[in-house]
Amino acid sequence: MRTMNDSSESTVEAVARRARDASRVLARLSGDRRNEVLTAAARSIEANRKEILQANERDCVAAERSLSAGGITRSMLARLRLNDRAIDEMALRVRDVANLSDPLGRRLSTTELDKGLVLHKESCPLGVIGIIFESRPEVIPQVTALCLKTGNAVILKGGIEAAATNQSLASVLQESLRQFREIPVSAIELLQTRSDVGELLALERDVDLIVPRGSKELVEFVKQRSRIPVLGHGEGICHVYVDGAADIRKAIDITLDSKTQYPAACNAAETLLVHETMVRGFLPQAVMALKNAGVELRGCPRTIALVGTDAVGRASEEDWAKEYSDLILSVKIVATLEEAIAHIQRYGSGHTEVIVTEDAGTAKRFMEEIDAAGVFHNASTRFADGFRYGLGAELGISTSKLHARGPVGLEGLTTYKYKLYGSGETVAEYASGKKKFKHRKVD
Amino acid sequence: MRTMNDSSESTVEAVARRARDASRVLARLSGDRRNEVLTAAARSIEANRKEILQANERDCVAAERSLSAGGITRSMLARLRLNDRAIDEMALRVRDVANLSDPLGRRLSTTELDKGLVLHKESCPLGVIGIIFESRPEVIPQVTALCLKTGNAVILKGGIEAAATNQSLASVLQESLRQFREIPVSAIELLQTRSDVGELLALERDVDLIVPRGSKELVEFVKQRSRIPVLGHGEGICHVYVDGAADIRKAIDITLDSKTQYPAACNAAETLLVHETMVRGFLPQAVMALKNAGVELRGCPRTIALVGTDAVGRASEEDWAKEYSDLILSVKIVATLEEAIAHIQRYGSGHTEVIVTEDAGTAKRFMEEIDAAGVFHNASTRFADGFRYGLGAELGISTSKLHARGPVGLEGLTTYKYKLYGSGETVAEYASGKKKFKHRKVD
């Protein structure tokens, strides 16, 4: 266990307690003050560019050695390596977050319970956020900016292969806090060893939310171990359903974009469902367009019978439940809208589901009945993204239904409290009938 | 395992799967249709009053036998017993829920991403809710009404001592569904044995939320076992802090009301914190008023030194962390606002915290820094309640910070989905710069 602070105690418990104390200070900072902190952080990243890149070079040298020994993969190494442009990008992203409107102190509702007794439901910080991530060191400035903007303290735990880079980045960010004398440096904490993770996940009293960022395996590991609520990226098994009343041009464009625009993304489509009346008009054209784009197809028996084994392989039961994250698409012909919906409910991951149709009634049924974070009518699955949605920032995409669903921006790092302002009111006066509630909604 | 349905499979897994199927039907009912279902349920309760009371009589006879054998307590028996008025009250409560405005299909935000590409964030049902409760059979119509109003299927598990009453009530409610031909009866399911609970808590794929209603022990048991998110009543360790700038009349009224208006409630105060400058003006009067109201006091050493051992007992370390749920109050003198805040953060349960002061700046600091579902200025803790807040219904009070915090009404049983309406848009057009996002907030 190493932390970046000069405080004496360095158990994970002590780290979390210090973060909790810091969170109370952050909770009372004004929005302007929080933005000053972010601006200082961005400047600090730029000013310490050399130190950060040197630390990164040490990680890369070690990683290359590990690469030849088979310890890490070439793509992990690529994600690890920083350069001047990456540093600029980090600082830019932090400034972008500073420019977003203040997520705190928003009045979600105001009710006048009675004359002089007013209730506000108001957004406020969660408190302490734990972020567990792999490889990419740019996660540090990015999530630290999101946490500080929302008045939360952050405890970071990165991958061991980026240890020097992470340490350098966390130090730079902590140093930038020192000019704000009221803010404890422990608003940003870094953990470095794997065993710290297990300890962190048990500290339900001092940590309010855990955000795992990385592979499906990491997210699963964290979810299973954590006693703290977890806000996790889910799997993305997204479908495009081409209805009998689809416009063929739109159907082909949407299918291609959903699969090929960035196949590694969680919002890429994995399965194409085609209504049986579209097997002549749409299917052959779609197959040709997909093949031209380099997509491997795996079809149901009817698809194979129609298109031929040259163009389409056989989809196994596992294919329907698989997130390929690659240029592979499974294809199934369905007889009815109900069959399409049933297939999606069975195999979908609740991420994003698309219907292509010109029939408003069919679209409505799909949009109501499909239980997913995103239901799209005549648009690509790839629009499911915090920036495209206009949230201005994205912490991740949640396939959980509670707290935050779909692309999660700053709001996912806040909660709310009820503030009641009175002038000595007691419940006894209302229980006795002496006074009566008005419950007037003010907004 | 017994269920009320005539379906052949009766494993908990099969019950949950049927509830999931039913939830898809509920999700597409209009608000009017859901209200018709509630009105029919209320009528059905009234029409079957005799059967329900007979079943209840059987439970009460068995409970009385168990009472003499020491199996249950007298207060459990009192909570179990129904009469004509209780039946009327049940029906009335269901009609009250029908009269609330529709919690579904509310547009939480609308953003025009680009011309013709519009994103709605819209409230929708969670899906399937599991309710685990003790004793009081009126929980069944009450929570079933809340679930159906929010388009959710419900799986109920009550206490064994109310088995006949619960079975009768669930049957009556299920029967009332039969007149709605599109709605499966499995929208309401009843489990009866204790072993079913363990199975239910593992069915994360078909159950979206678990709501335990009952003792602290029940809530803890469910939280520790469940793989499904739990929305639970928390402990209520609420404080009243009487600041140095408090109005003494208000301070006494609020202290008395917070402790004595209904001491068994989770929003009753357990600890009184008094600023040291108030030990002459406020403390003696408060002690007298509390003693006159029958409240036992347990004080810190300074309180005892000031008030005397006749009036105040000694508070142990455990007292500060205890929910008395009784006419007992611990009292502590603090030197500063900071000391009061630190005490609350250490021992409070995040439920409801009150400051009594005429100083706006002090109140503001308290309201910002205290991390609790409710922070009140010059009002009794007892206002922390869904009905008093004007929510119209209360599922419970949450001390968790995620999803729902404080008194939870219908909103806590909903989630949201993003509905995107396009006309064939692809992300490639935006990535290439051919098109640009507008991100115009429509509301």
Average pLDDT value over all residues in chain B: 94
Mean pLDDT in residue range B376-387: 97
pLDDT of amino acid A2:
40
Binary contact (B24, A369; C-beta < 8 A): yes
- pLDDT bin (cut points 50, 70, 90) of residue A262 is very high
Rounded to an integer, what distance in angstroms lies between the CA atom of residue A309 and that of residue A318? 19
Considering CB atoms only, which of A374, A375, A424 is closest to B254? A424
Residue B2 has pLDDT above 90, yes or no: no
CATH-assigned architecture of domain A238-383 = 3-Layer(aba) Sandwich (3.40)
The per-residue pLDDT for B194 is 86
Architecture of domain B12-225: 3-Layer(aba) Sandwich (3.40)
The 10s digit of each residue's pLDDT in B199-218 is 999 999 999 999 998 888 88
Q: What pLDDT is recorded for position B4?
A: 45
Give me the pLDDT at residue B8, please: 55
From the list A254, A262, A422, which residue is nearest B377 (CB)?
A: A422
Q: Which of B374, B103, B443 is nearest to A124 (CA)?
A: B374
Q: Do A427 and B384 touch (CB under 8 A)?
A: no
Looking at the predicted structure, is the pLDDT value of residue B3 above 50?
Answer: no
Q: Is the pLDDT of residue B355 over 50?
A: yes
Highest mean pLDDT among A244-248, B264-268, B304-308 belongs to: A244-248
The Cα–Cα gap between A234 and A194 comes to 22
Q: Is the pLDDT of residue A209 over 90?
A: yes
Which helix (H) or strand (E) segment holds residue A61: the answer is helix A49-68
Question: Is the pLDDT at A5 greater than 60, yes or no?
Answer: no
- Span B185-212, average pLDDT: 94
What's the rounded Cα separation, in Å, for the pair B419 and A354?
10
Is the alpha carbon torsion for A87, A88, A91, A94 positive or negative? negative
Summarize the confidence of residues A177-192 as an average pLDDT: 96
Contact assignment for A427 to B382 by CB distance below 8 Å: yes
Instruction: Tell me the per-residue pLDDT of A114-133, one tens digit each, with 9 for 90 and over.
Output: 999 999 999 999 999 999 99
User: With 60 as the cut, is the pLDDT of residue A4 above it?
Assistant: no
**pLDDT tens digit sequence for A354-380:** 999 999 999 999 999 999 999 999 999
pLDDT, tens only, A267-319: 999 999 999 999 999 999 999 999 999 999 999 999 999 999 999 999 999 99
Cβ–Cβ gap B420/A374 under 8 Å = yes
* pLDDT at B215 (0 to 100): 83
> Cβ distance B128 to B26 under 8 Å?
no
Greater confidence (A195 vs A420) lies with A420
Q: Is the pLDDT of residue B6 over 50?
A: no
Q: How much of chain B is helix, strand and coil, in % rounded to 5?
A: 45, 20, 35
Strand B414-425 versus strand A374-379 pairing type = parallel
Residue to mutate among B427, B436, B441, with most A CBs inside 10 A, is B427
In percent, how much of chain B has pLDDT > 90? 86
Q: Do A390 and B111 touch (CB under 8 A)?
A: yes
The yes-or-no verdict on residue B192 having pLDDT over 50 is yes
Cα A143 to chain centroid distance, Å, stands at 11
Q: Per the CB < 8 Å rule, is B425 touching A229?
A: no
pLDDT per residue over B125-168, tens digit each? 999 999 999 868 999 999 999 999 999 999 999 998 999 999 99
Residue of chain B nearest A119, judged by CA positions? B389
Chain B partners within 8 Å of A388 (Cβ):
113, 427, 430, 437
Please report, rounded to a whole number, the percentage of residues in chain A having pLDDT higher than 70.
98
Cα–Cα separations (whole angstroms), residue B330 to A395, B326, B430 = 43, 12, 63
Q: Residue B25's pLDDT is what?
A: 94
Residue B232 clears pLDDT 50, i.e. is over it: yes
Label residue B70 by pLDDT band (50, 70, 90): confident
Contacting residues of B for A124, CB less than 8 Å apart: 371
Rounded Cα gap, residues A257 and B29, in angstroms? 34
Q: Do A127 and B401 count as a contact with CB atoms less than 8 A apart?
A: yes
pLDDT at B1: 38
Which residue ranges does chain A devote to CATH 3.40.605.10? 12-225
What is the pLDDT averaged over residues B69-90? Answer: 89
pLDDT surpasses 90 at A76: no
What is the rounded CA–CA span in Å between residue A240 and residue A344?
Answer: 10
Q: Is the pLDDT of residue A431 over 60?
A: yes
Measured between CB atoms, which of B127, B253, B345 is closest to A424? Answer: B253
pLDDT at A443: 75
Cβ–Cβ < 8 Å for A381, A363: no
Q: Is residue B417 predicted with pLDDT exceeding 50?
A: yes
Over residues A34-69, the pLDDT tens digits come to 999 999 999 999 999 999 999 999 999 999 988 888
CATH 3.40.309.10 domain extents, chain A: 238-383
Q: CA distances (Å), B172 to each of B1, B9, B23, B89, B156, in order?
A: 19, 21, 19, 16, 14
Q: Determine the residue type at A377.
A: H
Question: Measured between CA atoms, how close is A50 to chain B, in angstroms?
Answer: 32
Q: What percent of chain A has pLDDT over 90?
A: 86
Asked if B96 and B392 count as a contact pair (C-beta separation under 8 A), the reply is yes
